[in-house]
Chain A
Amino acid sequence: MIKQIENAAGRLVPTTVNGRQTTPYQGVGGYLPHGHKVGPPLRSCAQYPDGSKLAPNLVAALSRAGLRDGMVISSHHHFRDGDLLMEQVFAAAAQLGVRDLVWFPSAAFPCHRSLIRYLEDGTIHHIEGSLNGPLGVYASAGKMRGMAVLRSHGSRYRAVQDGDVHIDIAIIAAPAADSFGNCSGVNGPSACGPLGFALADAQYADHVIAVTDNLVPFPCIPWHINGNLVDQVVVVERIGDPARIVSGTTELTRSPDRLLIAEYAARFVRDVGIMRPGFSFQAGAGGTSLAFTLFLRDMMREAGVKARFIRGGSTKYLVEMLESGLTDYVLDGQSFDLDGVRSLRDNPAHVATNPFITYNYHGKGNVAALVDCVVLGATEVDVDFNANVVTHSDGLLLHGIGGWQDTLFARCTILTVPSFRDRVPIIRDRVTTLCGPGELIAVVVTERGIAINPRRQDLLAAVRGSALPIRSLHEIKAEAEAICGGAPAPLQTGEEIIGVVTWVDGTILDSVRQVVDEDVLAMAGGMQGEAA
């Protein structure tokens, strides 16, 4: 039985994770690092004599990179559910006969369910990274060796920079690349937008392999990843499925309840005075968040308010806002549709960002804290405003953290959640898995009212006299539970810890335990995971 300790949030967490000593969570801002960043090995350009780094295929590239048992292989998730590369990479690794690799993706998606085969045959030991859908169910059932280590986008960059994770070989899927190794995300059949999630990998890995299906003559412009960081370039037939990387058009939700929640959130942002000339906000491309953006857009237009910047994920709607003068800049971490990709390529005010710029907690300042408001989802919230984004109330690990934790530092963090989903109450006495400390969450917007964190007296004062349906979280919880037929039974989990949630500073915030309920696992068997 692994040794556990209670952290500052009252959660039992392991003191070692996958053999590495860890620090328990010490509160927001409680842990300060010391020492130096890690450094990748020194190289000379004399080792890359003619400037061409082409390798004949993945097997050759991996063996030239010195692939051996137990190594850490990293990848980025800009291709989302359309990634065709990692299957090829691990097939090549299996062909070379190596075992016990650690896969360190910036996120995994349902398309990666095929990699379960390599977990089963021992090629992969475990995955350190966000697990969406089928891989999460696999880990929840206790089938994965080693622990899933869940990190936010910012915390992943930080973990590499701080040396928590040493990347032996970084794989960079490049929609366009030249033979020198410059990589671009905005051209080619697998165009995906910026490549920021691969930045830490390129900067800090021992060995960097760029893989493309679209080799262009030098220079590959814009070079989102500089060839000076790249060891080898491999050309394969296909690296991505364009239809699953970005959608042609972003779908708008028709759900009246989601629309109602989004509208409440937008009215809140307007009525408390966050929406004012020069303000900034961030909202994702999920149903409710996207609807929020559209409601706010109309309100901005009506009031003649222009934002200083909007943080992407970009969609055609953000692009329209930029082009129609509703914001000076779009600062974009990932593009969700083709309009986002096009705008990033063609419009100098649409700027590619990466987790170092926007989220790295061990940096000299936090850009996420300069955003006036952020609108996020959650799987659960508790009465102290703590929130969960990775597990469901039945204990299944189904979602990654993404940039969720990083953005909590915005000046006003708004969670949009239904008060219950299909008889599952979302507001709990205690969240199943703690991902976001309540002190950072200002507002919870549900279809049955808006709850303001009592810590935010400024916001409570700002809503006085407004027509917004302000209620307490306790009240909304009681109403939802009455509808659902009483408070839900306490969750019975297994003892075994199958994963940990790290905080943005690398300390351990909570543990994810094995799901033992046969019914839950059986139901999850046929289920498709949703992308976070």
Chain B
Amino acid sequence: MHARAEAGARGAGIRSDCWVQVEDAGPGQPKIEIHSRVAALYGDSIRTLVHSTLHELGADDLSLTIEDSGALPFTIMARIEAAVHRLQPDNRRVVLPAVNPASVYASDRQRIRRSRLYLPGTTPKFFINAGLHGPDAVILDLEDSVPPAEKDAARILVRNALRTVSFYGAEKVVRINQLPRGLDDVRALAPHGVHTFMIPKVEHADEVLAVHRLVEDLRRSGQVTGDIYLLPIIESAKGVINSFAIASAAASIVGLALGLEDYTTDIGAQRTAEGRESEWAAGQIIVAARAAGVQPLASVYSDIGDEQGLYHWARQQRLLGFDGIGCIHPRQIRVVHDAFAPSEKEIEQARRIVSAYEEAMASGRGVVAVEGKMIDPPVVARAQRIMRLAMMTTERHVGATEAAETP
């Protein structure tokens, strides 16, 4: 029997993925065997892709079997690459799918991050339409949702997704593994259009600094051109205690997220719906993040069936001072945006503050006053943020109207 390796998934419940097995052909001719649910429509195209991918990997001499359940080309390429690398651990060649122009857009540090949608890094079917549901950010996860044996394959798949899948304007975030493995994730993915790296289970500022320095090294060597932001996640007692040092460790940090599942375990508490066990941590994170000038981001709400519970919880996080929460199902996004939407009254008040501020700036006065009351800079900043949140709702409106005018 010849050495063989496999990657991907197959079976009745699998969609938008494929299973690939590669094998040393031995003295005989290499064989390519393709079974696909979409053979009638894309059989020839899959065969061409299999050959060119093997060729670019320098693996023309391998036999390959593929069982395809409607995988898109970026997935087929990733699965072949993973299988070949597993068979040939010294093979360093990669096959990069062409960059989809629709997936190229910038993020910015101040952008609104009300909702961030977690996508398991091994399940391509969740990637494809994630952006349609309008999250502020998508998180391609390499950490907790990926089993240890799939870490290598997930990294390749996520890299290909970053290059080809359009997330329709959502910030493209990758949650890397805990360091030191996470540094390899950064090295592999930073050149491929990541906006932001989430760093899990951070306890010390130097962990964040290590990621920051690695990104800067990659920038100096020309592998990274755009801005890349960092988003540490605090998930332990030690992390909470060190939160301000962590939040202010590097200039590329844009926020500080709280991970409650691990935190509550770490402090010996149980996570409850009311969340009293994490009140102190929430307060710490909010204060530390604000003091460092970055966004405090709350945890996830796990009951995907309970929209009302989600709304109330998200609303509560907003009132505490958080700027956003994590989502584990696309249907949570709308609810979260509703919960974080400013009220008419808030918008009206913010409008008055912002226009008073602009007027004061224009006339060169240093003092801003609304209805005889002095307004401090943090209040102005908050009002500006509320106006941006309000604009995000109207923008969608305007864009759609234009489309409707030209059927």
A-side residues, CB < 8 A to B, are 256-257, 259-260, 393-395, 421-425, 447-448, 452, 454, 460, 463-472, 482-486, 488-489, 491-492, 517, 519-520, 523
Contacts and interface: CB of A to CB of B under 8 A. Distances in A.
Contacts of B15: 422
A255 B329 CA distance: 10
Contact of A256 (B38, B129, B407): B129
17 contacts: A256-B330, A393-B41, A394-B40, A422-B38, A422-B69, A423-B71, A424-B70, A447-B129, A460-B407, A463-B404, A464-B404, A467-B401, A470-B403, A471-B403, A485-B45, A519-B43, A523-B35
B396 interface: yes
Given A259-B331, A452-B407, A468-B400, A395 B133 contact: no
Nearest to B14: A422
A287 to B, nearest CB: 14
A470 B407 CA distance: 7
Interface string B392-407: 0000110011011101
B39 interface: yes
A424 B41 contact: yes
B37 interface: yes
B132 interface: yes
Contact of A485 (B16, B69, B73, B407): B73
A469 B43 contact: no
A486 B72 CA distance: 11
Contacts of B133: 256, 260
Nearest to A393: B41
Contacts of A520: 39-40
B40 A489 contact: yes
A465 B400 CA distance: 8
B376 to A, nearest CB: 36
B16 A393 contact: no
B400 A423 contact: no
A423 B42 CA distance: 9
B184 interface: no
Nearest to A519: B39
B401 A466 contact: yes
A491 to B, nearest CB: 6
Contacts of B407: 452, 454, 460, 470, 472
Given A421-B70, A470-B404, 17 more contacts: A422-B69, A423-B41, A424-B38, A460-B407, A464-B405, A467-B400, A469-B403, A470-B407, A483-B128, A488-B41, A489-B44, A491-B40, A491-B41, A492-B40, A517-B40, A519-B35, A519-B36
Interface in B316-370: 329-331
Contacts of A423: 16, 38, 41-42, 70-72
A388 B73 CA distance: 27
B329 A256 contact: yes
Contacts of A519: 35-36, 39-40, 43
Contacts of A421: 70
A114 B354 CA distance: 74
A462 B329 CA distance: 33
Contacts of A483: 72, 128
A486 B41 CA distance: 10
A467 B42 contact: no
B132 A422 contact: no
Contacts of B129: 256-257, 447
A467 B397 contact: yes
Contacts of B400: 466-470
Nearest to A449: B403
User: Do most interface residues of chain A lie in helix, strand or loop, or is the interface mixed?
Assistant: loop
B41 A489 contact: yes
B104 to A, nearest CB: 14
A447 B132 CA distance: 7
Nearest to B401: A465
Contacts of B45: 485-486, 489
B317 to A, nearest CB: 22
Given A257-B129, A519-B35, A519-B43, A422 B16 contact: yes
Contacts of A468: 400, 404
Among B38, B43, B396, B401, the one with the most A-chain Cβ atoms within 10 Å of its Cβ is B38
Nearest to A466: B404
Nearest to A488: B41
A378 B183 CA distance: 48
A492 B41 CA distance: 9
Contacts of A482: 100
A468 B403 CA distance: 9
A447 B40 CA distance: 24
A257 B38 CA distance: 21
Contact of A465 (B16, B38, B404): B404
B306 to A, nearest CB: 13
Among A422, A486, A491, A520, the one with the most B-chain Cβ atoms within 10 Å of its Cβ is A422
A365 B35 CA distance: 51
Report, nearest first, the 6 A-B pairs whose CB atoms are least far apart: A422-B70, A488-B41, A256-B330, A394-B40, A423-B70, A519-B39
A488 B36 CA distance: 14
B169 to A, nearest CB: 14
Contacts of B403: 469-471
A517 B39 contact: yes
Nearest to A485: B73
Interface string B78-100: 00000000000000000000001
B344 to A, nearest CB: 18
Nearest to A462: B404
A430 to B, nearest CB: 14
A421 B38 CA distance: 10
Contacts of B69: 422
Nearest to A493: B40
Among B35, B100, B331, the one with the most A-chain Cβ atoms within 10 Å of its Cβ is B331
A467 B396 contact: yes
B42 A485 contact: yes
Contacts of B38: 394, 422-424, 488
B8 to A, nearest CB: 15
A18 B75 CA distance: 47
A165 B391 CA distance: 63
Nearest to A261: B132
Contacts of B43: 489, 519
A486 to B, nearest CB: 7
